[in-house]
Amino acid sequence: MHDLNQKKYWKENLKYLAILLSIWFLVSFVFGILLVDQLNTIAFGGFKLGFWFAQQGSIYVFVILIFVYVRLMNALDKKYKVED
């Protein structure tokens, strides 16, 4: 592959990583831990919201994040013609 193209591919990949990992950090470390007390004042069905993020919500988001990543990367591979 052309050097310049490879650089662009890698840059876009890093951008995706930055976005997805920020969400990963947000739902677990921020919602589930740092802001848990504030979020716990909000009721979410029978849950306190912060507690729900720590024991349920963050895990659901993790699963979604990986599948989103799979889709994004498959499209990116296609765009730069680097599919395997």
Query: Residue written as tokens 């919201």?
Result: 49
Q: Using CB under 8 A, which of 2, 4, 41, 46 touches another protein?
A: 46
Residue 81's region, left for phi above 0, alpha for psi from -120 to 50, else beta, is: left
**C-alpha span between 78 and 84 (Å, rounded):** 10
**∠ CA(75), CA(67), CA(47), 5° rounding?**
145
Q: Does 19 bind another protein (CB under 8 A)?
A: no
Give the x/- contact pattern for another protein in 47-76, rule: CB under 8 A: xx--xx-xxx-xxx-xx-xxx-xx--xx--
Q: Does 42 bind another protein (CB under 8 A)?
A: no
> What is the rounded end-to-end Cα distance, in angstroms, of the chain?
13
Residues that bind another protein (CB under 8 A): 1, 6, 9-10, 13, 17, 20-21, 24, 28-29, 32-34, 36-37, 40, 44-48, 51-52, 54-56, 58-60, 62-63, 65-67, 69-70, 73-74, 77, 80-84
